[in-house]
Amino acid sequence: MGEMSVGHIQATGETVLANARVVLRDEVVRGSVRVREGRIVAVDAGAGVPPRALDLGGDLLIPGLIELHTDNLERHIQPRPKVDWPHAAAIQAHDGELASVGITTVFDAMRVGSVISGGRTDYRKYARPLASELMQARSKGMLRISHFLHLRAEVCSETLLDELGEFGAEDRVGILSIMDHTPGQRQFRDLAKLKDYVCGKHGMNEAEFADHVAGLTAIHARLGEAHEAGAVAAAQRLGAVLASHDDTVREHVVVSAGHGVRLAEFPTTVEAAQACHDHGIAVMMGAPNLIRGGSHSGNVAAAELAEKGLLDILSSDYVPSALITSAFLLADLWDDLPRAVATVTATPARATGLEDRGVIAEGLLADMVRVAHIDGVPVIRGVWSHGRQVG
């Protein structure tokens, strides 16, 4: 998978970013990066500042961040319950927010699979029209950064196969994750925690929650197996990387590996994360989990997996600015800045087949972020996407 030229504006001419601490694959070097026509054409050592170069004053220069799973677009199109914000404005605000926090490539997460037979949860269909609007904005040059789609295929739903059938190769679907939110397993195997979450969000009483659990359990019994098989087939048809979601026990991972899963989103236990590594599946955890010191659902802490060498990729999940913050927290935990930066750049690029970005190296896209580290806080001072400054 790579970036298409249509719909993404590249800088013309030549730019030199000089006197930077450039974070490369395995080391940090004082030097400069030369950019031409949206690509990196040279990385040179030395603190000198050539004429007309931009002097970064010793700030860090890291690859543009790559976000594989964010609910941020959904937040912009529905800023309050039952408020449908104008989508063109929401898409641009989302795109601009990500650019401002150093994200230059995003896989926008959209749920496919709806529950239409009733209930009080908001599981209406929305992904197909929103994806079309996003792709139109991209084709018209309205966006600052690179956008791909991440379809979150909800097995416990009624319309998954029909909704998946509406997507094709032109939709830039880079990731398809198999989700199963049937009550009593995976993320919400503790029904008490599920009750707190659902009743708090939707104002259900005891009887309504019991009906909610019974209804979803019945849907899964009737359609779950066919939906899981259909999601695997759809990923193959779309050329998307297949991801699992909330693996909890080794048996979940064995099934994932059999499906051809390459990326595990938010495994909930050490057991599942270890099993993923045993099967060559990259483990992605939420940056908010790392920053907060634990999971809001009571699952395994990202820091614990990092300490055990079982964390490969970070995702901002629901707080875009968390991605850069968490990378620097990992750098402190590991005492290894290049390794930590790779969890938000090179490794997500490799996991999704993006060979043209994720590292500052000759020939790759000029997606880069200038970062000052002040009192332990990463402060973004410049963002370049395809060589064009966007933040």
Q: What confidence tens digit (pLDDT) does each residue in 226-284 have?
A: 999 999 999 999 999 999 999 999 999 999 999 999 999 999 999 999 999 999 999 99
* Euclidean distance between CA atoms 160 and 166, whole angstroms: 10
* Euclidean distance between CA atoms 57 and 19, whole angstroms: 6
Mean per-residue pLDDT of the chain: 91
| Dihedral of the alpha carbons of 91, 94, 96, 97, in degrees to the nearest 10 | 170
Average pLDDT over residues 278-303: 93
Confidence of residue 4 (pLDDT cuts 50, 70, 90): very low
DSSP 365: B
Which residue shows structure tokens 């594989």? 68
Taking the whole predicted model, whether its pTM rises above 0.85 is answered as yes
In contact, 290 and 323? CB cutoff 8 Å: no
Domains of the chain in sequence order: 1-63+357-391 (2.30.40.10), 65-355 (3.20.20.140)
Confidence of residue 187 (pLDDT cuts 50, 70, 90): low
Per-residue tokens: 373: 């580290």
pLDDT, tens digit, for every residue of 22-79?
999 999 999 999 999 999 999 999 999 999 999 999 999 999 999 999 999 999 999 9
Confidence of residue 296 (pLDDT cuts 50, 70, 90): confident
